[in-house]
Amino acid sequence: MSDTQAAKPIAEPAIEPTGLNRWALRIEYDGTGYLGWQKQNDGTSIQGLIEAAASKLVRNRPVPSITAGRTDAGVHAAGMVIHLDFPDDAPIDARQIRDGMGYHLKPHRVVVLETAKVGPEWNARFSATWRSYRYTILNRPARPGLMENRVWHIKRPLDVDLMQQAANHLLGPHDFTSFRAVACQARSPIRTLDVLNIHRDGELVMIDTKARSFLHHQVRNMAGTLMMIGSRQWPVEKIIEILEAKDRCAAGQTAPPEGLCLMDVGYPDDPFTRS
């Protein structure tokens, strides 16, 4: 959804057939150099790595996956949630999944953080009620050294107060046509932002946002627009014009993928916090 392509309306799925052993996983990854989450015919994807590692735990039988959101190439995740369907005759437990997949995922920068057994009705995508992202800007004259591929470098000083004033106009339900990718497949451009907070920590400017789902490139397009306002190239009131225009050309540039990180995914009955 997205910046993960959460394009289609969320609907409750039918209960999956029995014969599968479903596990929820929380994973983190550095998206640098990968094609993004979704498997493709050429290049390395996060999904391809995950399914290959899981397959090795069950004698190379296929282990399909579903994700809470499909991140784009170069986008990172600190708390992505997925589910895996292992064959039900495979003796496997939480530790074996975490440590075994961790071993087979080396040397890739993809890590299994947590695992939890779930029922066949639980779905990483359709059971989720919110996703949260952080977009990080390095705001200083010098280019990044330690944080290369993890931030968007902006030399011009940014006023976070102006950025927050503009961000406040995006909260709640809106038609976000001006902030969706041209190739976005969502049937409706209406989305509801529950959180859009901007704060500074030294040279870093963080844009934190949370919603049930996002349009393709929505977070990166919002970040590109807020940067224009924070750098005083556009006035705060410009954000209202952009929303009302319902035209992608009216908004700012699509911020680069390396500054974006999916932080967390929420569920009414979070499998990772069950006692």
Q: What confidence tens digit (pLDDT) does each residue in 37-60 have?
A: 999 888 999 999 999 999 999 999
Cα gap 212→223, rounded to integer Å? 18
- Among 72, 99, 201, 264, the active-site one is 72
Cα gap 76→61, rounded to integer Å? 28
141-188: pLDDT as tens digits: 999 999 999 999 999 999 999 999 999 999 999 999 999 999 898 999
Same-fold call for 20-127 versus 130-263: yes
Residue 274 — pLDDT band, cuts 50, 70, 90? low
Fold type of domain 130-263 = Alpha-Beta Plaits (3.30.70)
pLDDT beyond 50 at 9 = no
In this structure, CATH architecture of domain 20-127 = 2-Layer Sandwich (3.30)
Asked if 262 and 69 count as a contact pair (C-beta separation under 8 A), the reply is yes
Closest among 69, 23, 99 to 261, alpha carbons compared: 69
Residue 2 — pLDDT band, cuts 50, 70, 90? low
Asked if 140 and 156 count as a contact pair (C-beta separation under 8 A), the reply is no
Say whether 208 is catalytic: no
Closest among 66, 233, 54 to 154, alpha carbons compared: 233
Residue 10 — pLDDT band, cuts 50, 70, 90? very low
Question: Region 8-15: what's the mean pLDDT?
Answer: 46
pLDDT beyond 50 at 219 = yes
- Amino acid 134: pLDDT: 98
pLDDT beyond 60 at 18 = no
Question: Region 241-269: what's the mean pLDDT?
Answer: 97
Asked if 13 and 239 count as a contact pair (C-beta separation under 8 A), the reply is no
180-211: pLDDT as tens digits: 999 898 999 999 999 999 999 999 999 999 99
Q: Would the pTM of this model clear 0.75, i.e. be above it?
A: yes
- Amino acid 40: pLDDT: 87
Ordered by start, the domain boundaries in the chain are: 20-127, 130-263
Closest among 101, 105, 99 to 44, alpha carbons compared: 105
100-133: pLDDT as tens digits: 999 999 999 999 999 999 999 999 999 999 999 9
- Helix H or strand E segment including 67: strand 65-67
Question: Region 256-263: what's the mean pLDDT?
Answer: 98
Closest among 50, 2, 44, 61 to 26, alpha carbons compared: 50
Residue 20 — pLDDT band, cuts 50, 70, 90? confident
pLDDT beyond 90 at 3 = no
